[in-house]
Chain A
Amino acid sequence: MARQQRIELIRSISELRGSAVICYITGDRENVSTRIAPDVTQVFYRHLEMYGECQQIDLFLYTRGGDVLTPWRLAHLIREYTPRFSVLIPFRCYSAGTLLCLSADEIVMGKMGELGPIDPSVVNAFNPQDQNNPSARIPVNIEDVYSYLALAGEKAGVCSNDQQVKAFTLLAERIHPLALGNVHRNYMLIRSLAKRLLAMHQQPLKEGRIEHIVDNLTEKLYAHNHMIPRREAAEINLAVKIPGSQLENLIWSLYQDYANELSLTEPFNPAEQLRGAKSEFEVVSGYVESLKGADAFVFSGVVERRDFPEPGQVNVSILKQGWRTLCP
């Protein structure tokens, strides 16, 4: 669907909700994904400036997550323009996306809406090397580390100081101490961020509710890929709102439009771009869009046939990647 038709869907949602709607899609297309990251902040600023101050801003969000600090910055930026902030969740909204939802006064979840735990995996130069790919680092999930220590204490009967030191030493032999330091810093960071984001609500949350939500989203779901449907999200006290059928249909139609536009269900295959021995290509893998304009995250590159041992193989170079204003 072209932007013009998508604009009609955004306009209908906006009129139904009495809000300014901004759509943020980080594409999860195989081979050319995008994620929540700080470079989107300026893109949001452009859209927010075009809207000016609003009674309510609705963020239509589809993401598998990304950088955990960006939601904090985005939430503050959005709050500069509105006293009331809501998110509309058609489908996946995991990890850093869920974190961003915590700052919203209202989380409108369709039947297919999914949130996820906020238990990030962290990576730095000291993370363990991947045995199958020496150039790669294996991310360490912060809850896995704390779960190991809990396992040692609760199940293996590690209780004396000596035993605790032994359990920790065993861990430090496998994971570099500076990687573990990074894990601990992020363990503290994610809890602190979640609490501060929940404290941004227009109506302050009751005492104990913030801790309840944070505990559930960090350590009580037990699996990083746990998908939280709207009923479960409401049970853990998130500010979930069930949309009426008209809104439900609109947000699902809008999601499907982006999914088609970004070909989310088809892996990006550079060989299909090849015409002759060498071809340039551009592929869009993310959107920030509103009634005021559209920005896309674009990968630009070159695909060329090379003399690989196996026929049909190609070499792909990404020459440029970044946000680009499409209109106005």
Chain B
Amino acid sequence: MEEQQTIFRSKKVSFSYPADDVKYYLITGDSGYPLADFDFPGIPAKNKTSFVIPERITKTAHTIQEP
């Protein structure tokens, strides 16, 4: 019986791991958690107990909707 030989040819494979965009949000002591790129002239806490932090929020946009 003849042996079947399988010839493997090397082929370059590229993997792509899409990452979520990093956005910066302003965190204060209250419930608001807006984009830090905005200006906040009306929120005096910004310079006291608030921080700008990076956020990788999994995209909620363009998710599949029910028809």
Contacts and interface: CB of A to CB of B under 8 A. Distances in A.
Interface stretch (A37-45, A52-60, A79-87, A215-223): A37-45
A127 B51 CA distance: 10
Contacts of A256: 66
Interface string B43-67: 1000000011110011111110110
B53 A39 contact: no
A239 B54 CA distance: 34
B48 to A, nearest CB: 11
A30 B51 contact: no
B57 to A, nearest CB: 7
A64 B37 CA distance: 21
A130 interface: yes
A319 B54 contact: no
30 contacts: A29-B60, A30-B60, A30-B61, A31-B23, A32-B34, A33-B34, A34-B33, A37-B29, A37-B30, A38-B29, A39-B29, A67-B29, A123-B27, A123-B53, A124-B51, A127-B51, A137-B51, A138-B53, A139-B54, A264-B60, A299-B32, A317-B40, A318-B34, A318-B39, A318-B40, A318-B42, A319-B41, A321-B43, A322-B32, A323-B31
A318 B43 contact: yes
A136 B66 CA distance: 38
Interface of A: 26, 28-40, 64, 66-67, 123-125, 127, 130, 132-133, 135-139, 225, 256, 264-267, 270, 285-286, 297, 299, 301, 315-323
Best-buried of A32, A124, A266, A315 by chain B (most CB within 10 Å): A32
B33 A136 contact: no
Contacts of B36: 135-136
A35 B60 contact: no
A320 B44 CA distance: 10
A316 B37 CA distance: 8
A297 B31 contact: yes
B42 to A, nearest CB: 4
A37 B25 CA distance: 15
A67 B58 CA distance: 20
Contacts of B63: 265
B54 A136 contact: yes
Contact of A39 (B31, B33, B60): B31
Interface in B15-30: 22-25, 27, 29-30
A301 B52 contact: no
A301 to B, nearest CB: 7
Contacts of B40: 317-318
Contacts of B30: 37-39, 321-322
B38 to A, nearest CB: 4
A34 B31 contact: yes
A225 to B, nearest CB: 7
Nearest to A121: B53
Contacts of A135: 36, 52
Contacts of A319: 41-42
Given A266-B61, A316-B38, A136 B53 contact: yes
Given A317-B38, A318-B39, A33 B53 contact: no
A225 B58 contact: yes
A39 B43 CA distance: 15
Contacts of B22: 132
A264 B34 CA distance: 14
Contacts of A66: 31, 33
Contact of A123 (B34, B39, B41, B51): B51
Q: Please give me the 4 A-B residue pairs with the lowest Cβ-Cβ distance, nearest first.
A: A319-B42, A321-B32, A33-B33, A136-B52
